Amino acid sequence: MKKIGLIIFTTVLFLSAGFLFASEEEPFKIHTKGDGIFSIPFGKTYDYTNIYVRRVIDGDTFQLESGERVRLIGIDTPEIHESKKLYRDSQRSGQDAKGIKELGERSYQFTKKLIDGKRVSLEFDVEKYDKYNRLLAYVYLKSDGTFVNAEIVKQGYASLMTIPPNVRYADKFSKLYREARENKRGLWQ
């Protein structure tokens, strides 16, 4: 009986600490072994239909005011950071890593100008998170309704990356991608 009381006391103490140390900007998170993060949503809750973009990380990833990272569904921009993917892309394309990073910087600048410091609305597809615990979303600017994923492809700053089951706008993105390449927009100049 004493063990059960101790377990209950410890649990209550632990959860109380979450209330004390959780901020309005970041929920209380417990990092576990493996890919998962156990998150207890103490503090402020966020409305994904009207949320602020804190910073752009690269051409297809950004961070929300909540601290969460968002990966744009259906598109892929060149890497700007040193990573295994950068070197895989280099081998696959035959282009040197430095050249890929330069293209990635152009994509990053386009996305940054488009959404950094602005309010957006997120639309989810079948899967809400990727294996890196990033939100997977279609994103719209609150100011004028611009479909961000589509605009990046339309202006030639992204390739396609269709990963089932998140395929809601795959046909639209494919059409925009062909038009951007044919008209030599963005990275296709």
| Cα separation, 102 vs 79, whole angstroms | 9
Verify whether residue 71 is a known catalytic residue.
Answer: yes
Active-site residue (options: 68, 106, 134, 151): 134
Q: Which residue has the tokens 């009207």?
A: 50
The whole-angstrom separation of Cα 152 and Cα 57 is 15
β-pairing, 69-72 vs 135-141, is parallel
Q: Which of 68, 79, 106, 151 is catalytic?
A: 79
Catalytic residue among 71, 102, 119, 127: 71
DSSP category for residue 144: T
DSSP 188: G
Whether 92 is a known active-site residue: answer no
Active centre residues (catalytic):
71, 79, 134
